[in-house]
């Protein structure tokens, strides 16, 4: 339940726009299609990102999330060490 609430909040906060490419999100996109709305962790979980923090979540297209892969940009991540 906690993930569903965090996911819904991230999608609402995005205002209908992909947070990576800036194009509109498609609410009715087919599951697993390139335009499906996904929620991306800005700082990946394997690097210690908080799975539920609003500041660590953003709504993106599946294709945009896939193209980002496991890369973390300096503006999105501050090292803990």
pLDDT digits (tens, 9 = 90+) for 14-48: 999 999 999 999 988 999 999 999 999 999 898 99
DSSP annotation string for 1-48: -HHHHHHHHHHHHTTTB-TTT-PBP-TTPPTTSTT-EEEEESS-GGGT
What does pTM read for this prediction? 0.78
**Measuring CA to CA, how many Å separate 16 from each of 8, 25, 48?**
12, 5, 28
pLDDT digits (tens, 9 = 90+) for 42-57: 998 989 999 999 999 9
Per-residue pLDDT, 80: 47
pLDDT digits (tens, 9 = 90+) for 57-81: 999 999 998 887 666 655 544 544 4
């Amino acid at each position: 339940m906690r993930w569903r609430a965090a996911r819904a909040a991230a999608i609402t906060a995005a205002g209908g726009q992909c947070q990576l490419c800036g194009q509109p999100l498609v609410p009715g996109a087919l599951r697993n299609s390139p335009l499906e709305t996904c929620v991306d962790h800005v700082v990946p979980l394997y690097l210690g990102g908080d799975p539920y923090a609003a500041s660590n979540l953003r709504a993106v297209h599946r294709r945009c999330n896939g193209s980002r892969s496991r890369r973390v940009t300096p503006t999105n991540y501050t090292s803990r060490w």
